[in-house]
């Protein structure tokens, strides 16, 4: 009886078939004869199932187990099952030479590759995220330091030049700087997205600025001067505070409310108010821009994480035919892990190697097209707009916060001049007008009120409007000392760095991702998918 072997053919037919097709040696014929009679023969039927023993794939399974961080029994629940079927799914995805993986394994490997890509994108963005966050923190710290120093120096100025009202004015000054901190340090980004809208920042409004924060700041400064007017009138103009400030509460409020009608401090309050509004608005725009870049990167990271956690194409035929993102990830990061061990593994170990750099860039670029395609021009435009805004601000010598707080013509110097050169010089006229408005000066005879209570009586919320009066539109022209770089000049350095190093950040993302040593091989090393060195692969590509 003749024995039937592979495909139901006789031995002689098998020998003739392989002799004609492949012209193999006698030793090769023996190998095929052994395969034809073995119980572990490969059965090529309609489903094209390929069987390999666990021994052939043991090293691969160990690498896969480590890669996916699961127990080996996750894929081999039945210990008596010594071989498994790869099936059409894996064959269609990876080809017939990558058969150490079942459908379950290849699905998990693809999912792992997607999660890896999302993490590589996060790592690639990390330097820019760190840089932006560092600049934002630096600006916030500098503003806080400036405000604290200015508050202390104002207190010292009153102690030195106007000691009779220093204690009364201290809580009023504290109230002003509390509101300044809430305006400048509590950054409300709002709903606008500069990356999406890419407006020209010279005409850009951000966050709280929509609520006309410039006008709000002017009101704060004017209210501060209104609140110090009663003690200045009683103790400086009239010099009637030998036993401390003792104006009657109702009379103090009347003096305060007459502030805008009398203008005891000239145009100093309105000038400082406009300068504060201009400086703070510019700082808010800088901070808002940095915040928007950070939010954009965070939104990208979140979108990639959602994509990585989602389902991919379930049609393996479609995946094998298309150069889709998931198909390329499967080809370069999942399938190489599924090839049985061979004698060449000493040279090339696909289980531990990565794709060539150019293959990684191609695959990652295809993936980035999904989300990053329309973002690059908007990102570049936003960076250019930021630089344009900073240059415009510096060129036009807009008021700087440092100068307003520190300069001799800033808040402290102007406050001293307002009291000495305006209020004290116009003392007789002010007294006459206050007599018309409030009558004879009234004091607390028993002087029960302490200075803090007196300050509370004359002070009102700084953000409340004064009487209906249009403030003058004069401006404070201040020059910055060359040896003291201010926040806007610091922001110009940030803008230059963004323009030089980060303007093309989005378009360079694929190269940045593939610089990760876990994403691709280094130059002149063996690649997992092709088995060629980078040098050979590049030359063949050309």
**Cβ 147 vs Cβ 406: under 8 Å:** no
3-state class of 473 per DSSP?
A: coil
d(C-alpha 4, C-alpha 13), whole Å: 10
Write the CB contacts of 528 (distance below 8 Å, at least 6 apart in sequence): 332, 336, 348, 350, 353, 354, 355, 521
Please name the residue that has the structure tokens 């040279």: 347
Question: Could you give the CA distance from residue 186 to residue 180 in angstroms, rounded to a whole number?
Answer: 10
Summarised one tens digit per residue, pLDDT across range 172-189 is 999 999 988 887 765 554
Type and span of the H or E element at 51: strand 51-53
What distance in Å separates the CA atoms of residue 493 and residue 488, rounded to the nearest whole number? 9
User: How crowded is residue 253: how many other Cβ atoms within 10 Å of its Cβ?
Assistant: 17
> Left if phi > 0, otherwise alpha if psi is -120 to 50, otherwise beta: which for 293?
alpha
pLDDT band for 514, please (50, 70, 90 cuts).
Answer: very high
In the predicted structure, residue 325 carries a pLDDT above the cut 50: yes
Range with the poorest average pLDDT among 111-115, 145-149, 339-343, 368-372: 339-343
Please tell me the distance from the alpha carbon of residue 263 to that of residue 426, in angstroms, as a whole number: 10
User: In the structure encoding, which two tokens stand for residue 487, read together?
Assistant: 């926040």
Q: How far apart are CA 498 and CA 67, in angstroms?
A: 37
Residues 6+ apart with CB under 8 A from 448: none
Q: What is the DSSP letter of 203?
A: G
DSSP state of 74: G
Which is nearest to 154 in space by CA: 404, 464, 398?
404
Higher-pLDDT residue of 11, 360 = 360
Domain borders along the chain are: 1-41, 129-188+210-287+381-480
DSSP character for 526? Answer: B
Mean pLDDT of 403-418: 85
The listed range with the strongest mean pLDDT (263-272, 455-464, 479-488) is 263-272
How many Cβ atoms sit within 10 Å of the Cβ of residue 123?
15
Angle, CA 477 vertex, CA 473 and CA 161 arms, to 5°: 95
For 443, phi then psi, to 5°, come to: -125, 165
52 has which bridge partners?
84
| Residue pair 438/251 in contact by the 8 Å Cβ criterion | yes
Q: Is the pTM of this model over 0.75?
A: no
Q: Tell me the average pLDDT across 229-248.
A: 80
Residues 492, 394 contacting (CB under 8 angstroms) = yes
Stronger pLDDT, 86 or 250, i.e. the higher one: 250
Do residues 29 and 18 touch, judged by C-beta distance below 8 A? yes
Contacts of residue 98, defined as CB under 8 A and 6 or more positions apart, other chains included, come to 90, 335, 336, 338, 339
Cα–chain center distance at 393: 24
pLDDT score of 2 more than 80: no
Residue 41 is predicted with a pLDDT of: 32
3-state secondary structure of 516: coil
Residues 423, 428, 432, 435, CA torsion sign:
positive
Helix (H) or strand (E) holding 355: none
Tokens 């601000």 locate to 393
Q: Residue 503: which pLDDT band, with cuts at 50, 70 and 90?
A: confident
Given a contact cutoff of 8 angstroms between Cβ atoms, the answer to whether 259 and 471 are in contact is: no
Structure confidence at residue 361 (pLDDT)? 92
């Amino acid at each position: 009886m003749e024995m039937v072997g592979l495909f139901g053919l006789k031995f002689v037919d098998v020998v003739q078939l392989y002799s004609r097709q492949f012209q193999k040696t006698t030793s090769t014929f023996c190998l095929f004869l052994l395969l034809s009679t073995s119980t572990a023969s490969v059965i090529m039927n309609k489903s094209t199932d390929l069987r390999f023993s666990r021994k052939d794939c043991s090293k691969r399974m160990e690498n896969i187990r480590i890669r996916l961080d699961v127990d080996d029994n996750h894929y081999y629940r039945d210990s008596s099952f010594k071989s498994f079927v790869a099936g059409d799914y894996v064959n269609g995805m990876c080809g017939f030479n990558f058969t150490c993986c079942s459908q379950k394994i290849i699905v998990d490997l693809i999912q792992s590759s997607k999660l890896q890509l999302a993490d590589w994108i996060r790592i690639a963005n990390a330097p820019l995220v760190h840089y932006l966050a560092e600049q934002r923190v630096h600006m916030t710290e500098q503003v806080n330091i400036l405000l604290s120093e200015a508050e202390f120096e104002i207190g010292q100025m009153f102690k030195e030049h106007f000691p009779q009202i220093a204690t009364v004015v201290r809580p009023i000054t504290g109230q002003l700087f509390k509101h300044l901190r809430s305006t400048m340090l509590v950054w409300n980004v709002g709903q606008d997205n500069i990356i999406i809208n890419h407006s020209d920042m010279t005409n850009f409004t951000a966050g709280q600025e929509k609520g006309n924060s410039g006008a709000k700041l002017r009101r704060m400064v004017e209210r501060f001067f209104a609140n110090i007017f009663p003690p200045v009138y009683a103790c400086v103009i009239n010099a009637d505070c030998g036993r401390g400030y003792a104006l009657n509460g109702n009379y103090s409020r009347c003096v305060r409310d007459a502030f805008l009608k009398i203008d005891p401090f000239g145009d100093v309050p309105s000038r400082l108010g406009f300068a504060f509004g201009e400086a703070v608005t510019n700082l808010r725009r800088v901070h808002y821009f940095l915040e928007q870049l950070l939010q954009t990167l965070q939104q990208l990271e979140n979108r990639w994480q959602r994509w990585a956690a989602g389902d991919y194409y379930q049609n393996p035929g479609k995946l094998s035919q298309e150069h889709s993102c998931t198909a390329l990830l499967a080809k370069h990061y999942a399938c190489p892990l599924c090839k049985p061990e061979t004698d060449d593994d000493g040279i090339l170990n696909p289980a531990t190697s990565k794709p060539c750099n150019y293959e990684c860039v191609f695959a990652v670029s295809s993936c980035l097209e999904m989300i990053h395609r329309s973002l690059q021009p908007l990102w570049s435009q936003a960076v250019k707009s930021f630089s344009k805004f900073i240059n415009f601000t510096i060129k036009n010598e807009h008021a700087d916060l440092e100068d307003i707080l520190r300069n001799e013509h800033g808040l402290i110097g102007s406050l001293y001049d307002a009291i000495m050169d305006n209020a004290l010089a116009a003392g007789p006229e002010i007294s006459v007008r206050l007599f018309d408005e409030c009558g004879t000066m009234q004091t607390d005879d028993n002087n029960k009120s302490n200075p803090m209570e007196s300050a509370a009586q004359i002070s009102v919320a700084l953000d409340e409007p004064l009487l209906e009066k249009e403030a003058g539109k004069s401006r404070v022209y201040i020059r910055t000392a060359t040896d003291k770089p201010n926040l806007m000049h610091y922001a110009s350095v940030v803008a230059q760095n963004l323009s030089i190093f980060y303007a093309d950040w989005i378009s360079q993302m694929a190269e940045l991702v593939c610089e990760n040593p876990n994403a691709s091989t280094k130059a002149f090393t063996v690649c997992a998918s092709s088995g060629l060195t980078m040098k050979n692969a590049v030359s063949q590509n050309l």
